[in-house]
Amino acid sequence: MGTEGKGTIFRRKDDRYLLYLPVRLVDDSMFPLKCENSMPVKIRFNPNDGKLVVEKWTEKENE
């Protein structure tokens, strides 16, 4: 079981950023987001605590 892993955030040539998550982390049965290919996510952060939160995007949030 792996509840943490080393990921990477990087800038592409088209000025988009990608967040890489290790397969071992995402494929773990305890990982909270179940994803077959790609999925919309909500990303938020609080500059005071230095944490990035990634959550599954729901249609309710888009309304």
> What is the pLDDT, as a whole number, of residue 35?
84
pLDDT at 49 over 60: yes
CA–CA dist 40, 6 (Å, integer): 21
61 — pLDDT class (breaks 50, 70, 90)? low
Q: What is the pLDDT of residues 11-45, one digit of tens each?
A: 999 999 999 999 999 989 999 998 888 889 999 99
Domain count, the chain: 1
CA–CA dist 55, 42 (Å, integer): 5
Cβ(40)–Cβ(57) under 8 Å? yes
Q: What is the extent of the structural domain holding 55? A: 8-62
> What is the pLDDT, as a whole number, of residue 59?
79
Q: What is the pTM of this model?
A: 0.70
> What is the pLDDT, as a whole number, of residue 62?
57
Extract the tokens encoding 54.
């990634």
3-state secondary structure of 41: strand
55 domain-assigned: yes
CA–CA dist 2, 27 (Å, integer): 9
Looking at residue 35, its amino acid is C
2 domain-assigned: no
